[in-house]
Amino acid sequence: MKKTTFLIAGLFGIGMVGLTQSMNVCPVIAAEEKVVSHEGVMLPTRMLMHEISKRMSNILEGTLASSFKYVAQEAGAIVDESYKINDVFFPVDPKENKWFKRAKIDPNDSDKITKLKEEFNVYLKNITSSALEIQKAAKTNDQKTTFKAFTNMVEKTCFECHEGIRDKMIPIENQ
C-alpha cells in the first residue's frame, strides 16, 4: 500500500514538474549522477527559472532513483541559482531593465521596485531554505524524507512565489 501511494505521489510530482518543462527534455541521467550540458539561449529571467525548474526535476528523478548524493548536489545548485534572482530581476540600472519593460513596471517608481525587491528577497530566502532542507534530507539516504522535503518546497515555495509574483505580472509576450 505504501509503495503504491509513493508511486502515485511520485508520478503526480513528475507530471507537475513535467508541465513546467513541457518543451525541454530532462538533461540528466540520475542513476549515473551525470548532468548533460544545456544548450540553447533564452531570456535571462526565463533562463534562470528554467534552470531552477530543471534542478527540481532532477531532484525528483534522483529521489525516485535513490541517488541521494545527486539530489544533494542538485539542491545545492538551486541555492547557487537562487542568488542570481536579484541580479537578473533587479540590475543596477532600472532604466535598462528589460524585465521591468515586459512586466509593465515603471523604472522610475522606486517605491514599487523596492517593495517588489523585498518580496523577492522573501522568496529567495524560502528557496534557499527549502533547497537546504532537501539537501539535509538527502544526506539521510531516506527516500520518503527526501521526497517530503521536495514536495514541501514545491508547495510552500514554488507555488507561493508563482501565485504571489509571477501570475500577477505576466510579461507582455505571454499575454
- Could you tell me the three cell numbers for 9? 505521489
Please answer whether residues 13 and 57 qualify as being in contact, where contact means their C-beta atoms are separated by less than 8 angstroms.
no
pLDDT in tens, 25-72: 444 444 454 444 333 333 555 677 788 889 999 999 999 999 999 999
DSSP annotation of 168 reads G
Alpha-carbon span 35 to 79, nearest angstrom = 17
Judging by beta carbons within 10 Å of its beta carbon (0-12, 13-18, 19+), is residue 82 exposed, middle or buried? buried
CA distance 140 to 124: 25
* Cα–Cα dist 116/114, whole Å: 5
CA distance 93 to 99: 12
**Domain segments of the chain: what residues?**
2-174
pLDDT tens-digit readout, 117-170: 888 788 888 889 999 999 999 999 999 999 999 999 988 887 777 776 655 555
pTM to 2 decimal places: 0.63
Write down the residue that cell numbers 507530471 correspond to. Answer: 15
| Helices (runs of H) and strands (runs of E) counted in the chain | 8, 2
Backbone angles phi, psi at 34, to 5 degrees: -120, 145
> What is residue 19's predicted lDDT score, i.e. its pLDDT?
45
